[in-house]
Amino acid sequence: MNTIIDFLNTIFWGYVLIYGLLAVGVYFTIRLRFQQILHFGEMFRVILSSGETDKEGITPLQALATSLASRVGTGNIAGVAVALTLGGPGAIFWMWMVALVGMATAYSESTLAQLYKVHGPEHQVYRGGPAFYIAKGLGMPWLGGVFSVCLILSFGLVFNAVQANSIAEAMQGGFGVPKIVTGLVVAALTAVVIFGGIRKIATVAEYIVPVMAGIYLLVAIWVLLTHLPQIPGMFAHIIGSAFGLQEAAGGITGGVAAAMLNGVKRGLFSNEAGMGSAPNIAAAATPVPHHPSSQGFVQALGVFIDTLVICTCTAMMILLSSAYVPGGDVTGTALTQAALGEHIGSAGTYFVAIAIFFFAFTSIIGNYSYSEMAMVYLGVGRHEGLMVLRVVVLLMVIWGSLQAVATVFNTADASMGLMATINLIAIVALSGTVVKLTKDYFEQRKAGKEPVFHAADYPELGDQIEHSIWYRES
């Protein structure tokens, strides 16, 4: 079993996804005419108009906060440190580049999720995501089922155990709290949120995520302000290492290749663009303007915040400290803690532990929200089915806080690899629809109109979409 799983992970993560996610990002960037750069302001324009919803939707801001809750995890703290250790400062430049193209991928998959969403059970909350656009757009419901099972196994269950393990390790290392105590507390807090369903998760995320990200950003700004003379040199070091304009620092093997590989991996794994995760919550939003593309812009902004803001904050705090030694033995969370300890004293260790707690906890509730969508697609998303899922998630949180079993985690990686591969094929196959929607959106903007989706302009979609969702009186 281990041999098979390791082989699948080598194929998925060594070849298919590293190159596939990057290639799809470049493909959509070119096909959509670099809109994530040329129309960057549209992302803020859309999110600032967030606030309206209907009885079945959550607001675009809540959808952004929930997707960020999942995206922003321990990888933003420990993963960036590992990328720096293995790939050097140049890894950060390639992390930025992959995020820029990933914004186009995130836009595309979330736009499709909006277009093909459906009324939820008892008309409580809209449901949608890759499983739905695979079934409706490609006419392959069985493949949507495979995707849903993979999503529940990876994001819904095992990855939540991984996040709980990170919290338990951080609380034990920072405050000496026994792991079982942390596990029970996190499970209790998780229960309070997830038993309230998607709306409760979205509301909690809307309050917690901006605060936790804001405080982390403020600390990073303080570090920058106290190291102003070193900032130009830091950026020169990042760019120089990325392109081999200077010798790779001692201890780093592979030079430019190592920088590129580790930067690409960190960017892809952190922002999740193309993985098929964030579109699940994007589908639950009532878009403002009432057009599928507007929610695509919201989720593209999520990639920007996750990687180009939060991951960059971690990288700068490490690079501006003497704790960073290329190829050194100290890496991961320990390296970030050492860097913060140098910047803000002994409080640095506690600050990182608390940051990990909130980053990982919000990831747990965000990941759970995705699995709810998958349960609905599989036809077991009513009260009884969701009750079973919630109980199992809580058990996984407690179990994960106590131990880490490599085989189980490797299985989740393989499951996530298959899920992402299916999603990439689906969004490329449906790219013509994405292009048409985008063109329609900006033509209305150019004409001075508030973009509105009119199903009559898309006769080729037929009964693939829920016309009652998109109907608006002119």
Q: Is residue 340 part of a domain?
A: yes
Question: What pLDDT shows up at residue 194?
Answer: 92
Q: Is pLDDT of 367 > 80? A: yes
Buried b (16+ CB within 10 A) or exposed e, 128-159: bbbbbbbbbbeebeebbbebbbbbbbbbbbbb
Q: Is residue 18 part of a domain?
A: no
Task: Provide the strand spans (E) within 76-153.
Answer: none
Q: Is residue 227 part of a domain?
A: yes
CATH of the domain at 127: 1.20.1740.10
Mean pLDDT, rounded, for 84-109: 91
Question: What pLDDT shows up at residue 255?
Answer: 67
Cα 261 to Cα 126: distance, rounded to the nearest angstrom: 38
Q: Is residue 175 part of a domain?
A: yes
Q: What is the pLDDT of residues 424-440, one digit of tens each?
A: 999 999 999 999 999 99
**Number of domains into which the chain is organized:** 1
Q: Is pLDDT of 247 > 70? A: no
With a pLDDT cut of 90, the percent of the chain lying above it is 52
Closest CA to 97 of 384, 369, 304, 281: 304
Q: Is residue 306 part of a domain?
A: yes
Mean pLDDT, rounded, for 442-469: 92
Q: How many C-beta neighbours within 10 Å does residue 407 have?
A: 11
Q: Is residue 1 part of a domain?
A: no
Picking from 20-29, 115-124, 307-316, 400-409, which range would have the lowest pLDDT averaged per residue?
Answer: 400-409
Mean pLDDT, rounded, for 204-226: 92
Its domain, for residue 153, covers 28-431
Judge residue 461's burial from the number of C-beta atoms within 10 Å of its C-beta, 0-12 exposed, 13-18 middle, 19 or more buried: middle
Q: Is residue 151 part of a domain?
A: yes
Residue 140 binned pLDDT confidence (cut-offs 50, 70, 90): very high
Q: What is the pLDDT of residues 144-168, one digit of tens each?
A: 999 999 999 888 888 888 888 888 8
Q: Is residue 386 part of a domain?
A: yes
Question: What pLDDT shows up at residue 262?
Answer: 78
CA 10 vs CA 14, 18, 80: distances in Å: 5, 11, 22
Question: What pLDDT shows up at residue 125?
Answer: 86
Question: What pLDDT shows up at residue 439?
Answer: 96
The answer to whether the beta carbons of residues 269 and 123 sit under 8 Å apart is no
- What is the 3 state secondary structure string of 36-98? HHHCHHHHHHHHHCCCCCCCCCECHHHHHHHHHHHHCCHHHCHHHHHHHHHHCCHHHHHHHHH
Question: What pLDDT shows up at residue 406?
Answer: 65
Closest CA to 126 of 62, 54, 51: 54
Q: Is pLDDT of 474 > 60? A: no
Q: Is pLDDT of 409 > 80? A: no
Q: Is pLDDT of 253 > 70? A: no
Please provide the average confidence, as pLDDT, over all residues in the chain. Answer: 87
Question: What pLDDT shows up at residue 281?
Answer: 93
- Residue 2 tokens read as 């281990």
- pTM for the model stands at 0.91
